[in-house]
């Protein structure tokens, strides 16, 4: 099952494990936080764009009773890893991984098909630094194969009226994100800043958008990752090790 350079990592959820290759692609903290922040009801379907090795659908399946998850990923090797992880965890009846370009989702699916869309996108505008990375890591981190505009547009196209879009991103893109969200009828409803420590500026943010929602933004209490240097906060520990009770709607 494992190929050269790959490893099998414990996800601390229902015995699930994930295939990863450090030379190609490994999920980060942002994917874990996104899967915790996103909400999905039992009868809903979820689309994860830029799904990488399938981490977000697998983590979300462990905490929800959703009927179906679909992951879309443009890099074939990541698709292969994700599909093998899905089979290893015996989730092939609930999680479906597709090789495709999120800019051309209308060729794969009907518009307005999904109740929930999630995305952990490339953060960095494609103007510096990508040349110093492998092709695989450059595509994952830089807006080479898709831009922020592409992501917001595709999320809006795929969501049902009133559907929810969840995204994690860097704080320095907040103006761009809010400007584009209204361009594509995605109204920001929940915003949570993520701080490494309580006395440090936020490094990331988690945002919930509602398709065609009414204007009203709630800023949640910040998520503090570390109580002291090297010591996880209780909330962060609960997120990492799935030790918090979930009260799904």
pLDDT of residue 16: 96
User: How far is the C-alpha of 68 from the C-alpha of 85, rounded, in Å?
Assistant: 16
pLDDT at residue 172 above 60?
yes
Give me the half-sphere count of Cα atoms (radius 13 Å) on the Cβ side of residue 134.
8
Full-model pTM: 0.94
pLDDT digits 0-9 by tens, 45-76? 999 999 999 999 999 999 988 989 999 999 99
Sign of CA dihedral 147, 239, 164, 61: positive
User: How far is the C-alpha of 232 from the C-alpha of 182, rounded, in Å?
Assistant: 36
Mean pLDDT throughout 27-33?
94
Cβ atoms 77, 24 nearer than 8 A: yes
Cα 75 to Cα 82, 99, 108, 208, 242, distances in angstroms: 11, 7, 16, 26, 29
pLDDT of residue 129: 58
Domain boundaries, the chain: 18-241
Does 18-241 carry CATH code 3.30.43.10? no
Q: How confident is the model at residue 138 (pLDDT cuts 50, 70, 90)?
A: confident
pLDDT digits 0-9 by tens, 1-23? 899 999 999 999 999 999 999 98
Q: How confident is the model at residue 137 (pLDDT cuts 50, 70, 90)?
A: confident
User: How far is the C-alpha of 34 from the C-alpha of 223, rounded, in Å?
Assistant: 12
pLDDT digits 0-9 by tens, 81-118? 999 999 999 999 999 999 999 999 999 999 999 999 99
Mean pLDDT throughout 128-138?
67
pLDDT of residue 248: 41
């Amino acid at each position: 099952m494992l190929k050269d350079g790959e490893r099998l990592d414990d996800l601390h959820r229902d015995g699930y494990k994930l295939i990863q290759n450090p030379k190609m692609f490994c999920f980060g903290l942002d994917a874990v936080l996104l899967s915790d922040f996103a909400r999905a009801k039992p009868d809903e379907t979820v689309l994860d764009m830029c799904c990488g090795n399938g981490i977000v659908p697998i983590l979300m399946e462990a905490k929800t009773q959703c009927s179906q998850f679909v992951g879309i990923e443009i890099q074939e090797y990541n698709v292969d890893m994700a599909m093998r992880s899905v089979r290893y965890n015996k989730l092939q009846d609930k999680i479906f991984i597709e090789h495709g370009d999120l800019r051309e989702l209308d060729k794969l699916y009907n518009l307005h098909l999904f109740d929930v869309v999630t995305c952990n996108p490339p953060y960095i505008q494609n103007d510096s630094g990508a040349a110093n990375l492998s092709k695989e890591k450059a595509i994952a981190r830089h807006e080479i194969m898709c831009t922020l505009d592409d992501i917001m547009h595709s999320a809006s196209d795929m969501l049902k009226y009133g559907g929810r879009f969840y995204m994690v991103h860097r704080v320095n893109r907040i103006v761009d994100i809010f400007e584009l969200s209204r361009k594509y009828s995605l109204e920001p409803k929940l915003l949570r800043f993520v701080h490494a420590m309580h006395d440090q500026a936020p490094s990331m943010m988690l945002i919930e958008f509602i398709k065609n929602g009414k204007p009203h933004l709630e800023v949640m209490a910040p998520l503090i990752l570390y109580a002291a240097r090297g010591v996880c906060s209780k909330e962060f520990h609960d997120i990492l090790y799935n030790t918090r009770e979930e009260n799904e709607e």
